[in-house]
């Protein structure tokens, strides 16, 4: 699965957020470290999201765009 990310160079290194997953962000001293760290953040975010809907009937819908 692919997610769009926003990568920002800061004085301390790099900050990265995932606009499609509110509150999901990470950072790193280097760009490579930040990108690896955000992969872990996304996995953790999705694990929590899955726990929150445990027992619910899950469906998918199409949005015309």
Note the pLDDT tens digit of each residue in 22-48: 999 999 999 999 999 999 999 999 999
Check the CA dihedral 27-28-34-39 and report its sign.
negative
CA-to-CA distance for 33 and 17, rounded, in angstroms? 14
The Cα-based distances of 7 to 13, 40, 50 in angstroms read 10, 15, 26
Read off the pLDDT of each residue in 47-65 and give the average, rounded to a whole number: 92
CA-to-CA distance for 58 and 29, rounded, in angstroms? 38
Secondary structure letter of residue 30 according to DSSP: S
What is the pTM (predicted TM-score) of this model? Answer: 0.84
pLDDT-derived band at 65 (thresholds 50, 70, 90) equals confident
Q: Is the pLDDT of residue 9 over 90?
A: yes
Read off the pLDDT of each residue in 2-22 and give the average, rounded to a whole number: 97
């Amino acid at each position: 699965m692919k997610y769009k990310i926003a990568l920002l160079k800061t004085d301390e290194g790099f900050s990265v957020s995932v606009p499609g997953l509110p509150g999901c962000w990470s950072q790193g001293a280097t760009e490579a470290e930040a990108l690896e760290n955000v992969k872990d953040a996304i996995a953790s975010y999705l694990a929590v999201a899955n726990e929150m809907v445990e027992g619910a009937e899950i469906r998918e819908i199409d949005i015309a765009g």
